[in-house]
Amino acid sequence: MARAVRFVSPRTVDIAEYEDPHPQPGEVLVETLFSGISAGTELTAYRGSNPHLSKRWEPERRLFLDDSAVTLEYPVQGWGYEEVGRVTEIGEAVTQVAVGDVVWGAWGHKSSVVLAEDWAAKRLLDKRVDPVLGIFSVIGAIALNGILDADIHVGEYVAVFGQGIPGLIVTQLAQLNGGTVIAVDGIERRIELARKLGAEFTVDFTKERPGEAVKSLTGDRGADVSIEFSGSSRGLHDAISATAYNSRVVAAGFFQGEGAGLYLGQEFHHNRIELVCSQISGVNPRLDHRWSPYRLERTFMDLVGAGKVDLQPLISDTFPIDEAEEAFRLLDEDRQDALQVVLEF
């Protein structure tokens, strides 16, 4: 039997079994090697704070409705979007993929999955890359999408709020785009890691006000663009206060609940700040005729293969799949030390 992680209720995890899949003609069977846990979107389902658990999402009008129905109910199975696995069986007439190939993508915390040959063939991991780094394809695309929304120019100051996994990736990508990075966080380990990964300046928001600190570092002008990846309303307010007049803040975190700590009558109003939402279901409208979610993933994994982003230091903990509940608990509770937590199959 194959196995999958399941959320039984808020903060309760178990392992469910399902029938071993078998590939049909034109399909391949992939056995999962590693699956990363998202500390943003995925933890909202684990904690019970995801709006799909309390409201109904209506796709036609793209609107959350406050009625008696909900989009998502416990038990929740199949979540997870950071996977990498090895092809163990191929269906008839498959020519683009071979047994032993390593495939990256998103198919949930499951021990095995059947994929279409064409889909898998476009996601073969570069043989130079450690297989575990394949888990970063989608979260890397999310970070790269934030970079496209930020529209960074050479020589500009880029303030990155939140040095979790996407923030630490953005810190590296912003440099590749010609930006000078100011990394903002309140956890010393993450601040130190941002320095090692190339942030020119760092700000600890537990010791100084980010708005004042960033203005001081930029000759009192402010960041040319700020990217907010903490998912904190207070962090969004700080990003707004740190950004130059008539400039842009990219809100890329998944905010939960009410916006406590966000004061739109202050710098947002007086400095004409442009606030842009970055979310992986879409691309910057000025670029969406050229870019797609797949191109974001492919581009990021090509950067990984070329050694232009450093991902190994982001992995903090690895657990066997049987200890999934402990893995989720660690990521939920240990903000100081846990970064990318990985499940090994």
Q: Which residues pair with 44 in a beta bridge?
A: none
Give pLDDT, residue 335.
83
**CA distances, 306 to each of 51, 124, 309 (Å):** 38, 15, 8
pTM above 0.75, yes or no: yes
Domain contains 267: yes
Share of the chain above pLDDT 70, in %: 100
Q: Is 294 contained in some domain? A: no
Is 329 part of any domain? yes
Smallest CA-to-CA distance from 228 within 220, 216, 240 is with: 240
14-54 confidence digits (pLDDT tens): 999 999 999 999 999 999 999 999 999 999 999 999 999 99
Domain identity same for 165 and 198: yes
In this structure, the answer to whether residues 30 and 99 fall within a common structural domain is yes
Single out the residue of 46, 27, 2 nearest to residue 333, CA to CA. 46
Q: Are strands 76-77 and 63-65 parallel, antiparallel or unpaired?
A: unpaired
Residues 155 and 271 in one domain: yes
- Is 161 within the bounds of a domain? yes
Is 13:325 a contact under the CB 8 Å cutoff? yes
Q: Is 211 found in the same domain as 151?
A: yes
Task: Summarize pLDDT for 164-173 with one digit per residue, the tens.
Answer: 999 999 999 9
| Assigned domain for 28 exists | yes
- Number of structural domains the chain divides into: 2
What are the helix (H) ranges across the chain?
Answer: 41-47, 117-121, 137-150, 165-176, 188-196, 210-217, 233-242, 267-270, 293-305, 324-333
Residue 154 lies in a domain: yes
Residue 104 sits in the same domain as residue 144: no
Last residue of a domain, one of 255, 277, 299: 277
Residue-level pLDDT at 121: 98
Cross-strand pairs, 161: 184, 228
Which residue range is the domain that position 106 belongs to? 2-124+310-344
Q: Are residues 159 and 235 in the same domain?
A: yes
Asked if pLDDT for residue 78 goes beyond 90, the answer is no
Beta bridge partners of 17: 3
What CATH code is carried by the domain that includes residue 115? 3.90.180.10
Are 11 and 116 part of one and the same domain? yes
The CATH number that applies at residue 172 is 3.40.50.720
Confidence of residue 250 (pLDDT cuts 50, 70, 90): very high
pLDDT, tens only, 80-137: 999 999 999 999 999 999 999 999 999 999 999 999 999 999 999 999 999 999 999 9
